[in-house]
Amino acid sequence: MTLFDPNNIITNTDSYKNSHYPLYPPGTEYVSSYIEARGGEMPVGMFVGLQAFIREYLMRPITLEHINEAESIAREQGMHFNRDIWLGLLRDHDGYLPIEIEAVPEGSVVPIRNVLLQVVNTDPKYYWLPAFIETALQRAVWYPTTVGTVAWRAKQQIADIAEATSDSEGLVRRVLHDYGARGVSSHESAGLGGLASLVCFSQTDTIAGILAAKRYYNADYTSSSGPNTEHAVLSSWGRENEVDAMRNMIETYRDHGVAIILTDTYDHENAVKNIIGGELKELVENFPGLIGVRPDSGDPVQVTSDTAEWLMECFGYTVNSKGFKVLPPFVKVVQGDGISRESFPRVLMEMERRGLALDNAVFGMGGGLLQQVNRDTMAFGMKVSAVRVNGEWRDVSKAPSGDVVKHSKSGRLALIRVDGEYKTVRRETVSAEENILQPVFRNGKLLKMWEFGEVIAKSEEQVPESYYIDAVADIRSSRALNFSSGRASAAEAVAVS
């Protein structure tokens, strides 16, 4: 049985791409394509993931075996395949693709409908290459960028709540944990989505994301985690021994300093009030670190705040300078079930409504972070915008009458900032120094290596409030309503007293 190379760039495409090279106008020399997020749910995107694709796929030359593999698949399908053009590339360029890619710095937060990436062939003989790699290149960009954007928006929501309810410094990067490895479509997706999440947060259990950040971006420290039970462990003790199972967890990881305990294997409220806050209360209070109390079912909006309040009944609380209740440092809620980009702000709003500081809980997002996205979430598209035929550049664009979102840009493109705002313009109208797009790949070579710390720093640069106002609008409206109605304000109560 023949084994096929999954990194073969010739087969990392749609079958029909093999039929396109003779369909361009006679005399075509260069084809320039670009990628943008055209619309969808979010007004801006955090660009990340291109370097991983370049290092994994484009810095490997094609081989004769790759050509043979691709030809056998095409012939099997009855698809046209021109062996000679690939043999020519192997001969002329030692198997490396003669293309140049320029892109915005990774970690950049850019409003939609702006060019993020542009690719053009560097050898006129291979004008068809930019469009040929569209399938692989677009997928390599839309997925981690969309996941990274979901994480970035969650981070803005966390920052808003932290500013209103917490006195703690450095809290924001530690609040949202990536639990998505099991809920994602593939190991590679876990890696790409996981590294995108790590740009925004320093908490994960998705090892593939850690490895991807280290492999492709030279990441040093990326994240932390800690011992965490699961139902298989708790239920194996039997319901009658639930307290013994929890005691064993606490005692086993006493020296580790973290023990996260599932409390809903049977009766969550009983486990919190009568086991964690009852039989094991002294053990929890004397634990040299953090006991995480983790519900794994129910309505996350209510159960998070309910659990925090039950723990306060058992262990007490303090009130911070902003008037919000804070659990003792040895215990907090770990809410990892049912957290999505839709539910997460509602959970935060309910905590604030009840006068609970953000410090009382950390959160995990799994499939809601790494899997519940698709190309249409941000309406990503890669389109040809210019071709050079017989020495002259021509504008190329599409403008379907039935969908204005799918209208594409024309010409060779550049990205600039005018008065702090990004703007896509024609390349010939600006100097190279003004163009934010940077050459990152050419003819098999990486031209710019983004370190993971650089990507994080870029993602944390200050942006206009308009970039995220829609993400925090409901939170702020709820806050205003709470104060005006007098329903939730622990801060207000403290001020009055």
Tens digits of residue pLDDT in 244-284: 999 999 999 999 999 999 999 999 999 999 999 999 999 99
* CATH class of residue range 146-370: alpha beta
C-alpha closest to that of 208 among 147, 364, 197: 197
Whose tokens are 């890619």? That residue is: 101
**pLDDT of residue 372 exceeding 80:** yes
SS3 content of the chain, % helix, strand, coil (to 5): 45, 20, 35
Q: pTM score, two decimals?
A: 0.94
Q: Is 279 exposed, middle or buried (0-12, 13-18, 19+ CB in 10 A)?
A: middle
Q: Which amino acid is at 160?
A: D
**pLDDT of residue 3 exceeding 80:** no
C-alpha closest to that of 110 among 50, 48, 191: 48
With a CB cutoff of 8 Å and minimum separation 6, the contacts of 256 are 226, 227, 289
Strand, coil or helix: what is 407?
coil
**pLDDT of residue 494 exceeding 60:** no
pLDDT in tens, 201-240: 999 999 999 999 999 999 999 998 988 988 899 899 999 9
| Per-residue model confidence (pLDDT) at position 82 | 95
Both tokens assigned to 204: 């994960």
Q: Please list the alpha-helical segments (H only) found in 316-433.
A: 344-353, 367-370
* Contact in structure between 54 and 391 (CB atoms under 8 Å): no
pLDDT in tens, 312-365: 999 999 999 999 999 999 999 999 999 999 999 999 999 999 999 999 999 999
Q: Where are the domains of the chain?
A: 146-370
* Contact in structure between 14 and 131 (CB atoms under 8 Å): no
Both tokens assigned to 218: 């030279």
Distance of alpha carbon 28 from alpha carbon 392, whole angstroms: 9
Distance of alpha carbon 185 from alpha carbon 170, whole angstroms: 32
C-alpha closest to that of 408 among 385, 435, 388: 385
* Contact in structure between 348 and 358 (CB atoms under 8 Å): yes
pLDDT in tens, 5-35: 889 999 999 999 999 999 999 999 999 999 9
CA dist 323 → 172, 353, 355 (Å) = 19, 12, 8
pLDDT in tens, 150-191: 999 999 999 999 999 999 999 999 999 999 999 999 999 999
* Contact in structure between 280 and 246 (CB atoms under 8 Å): yes
| Per-residue model confidence (pLDDT) at position 2 | 59
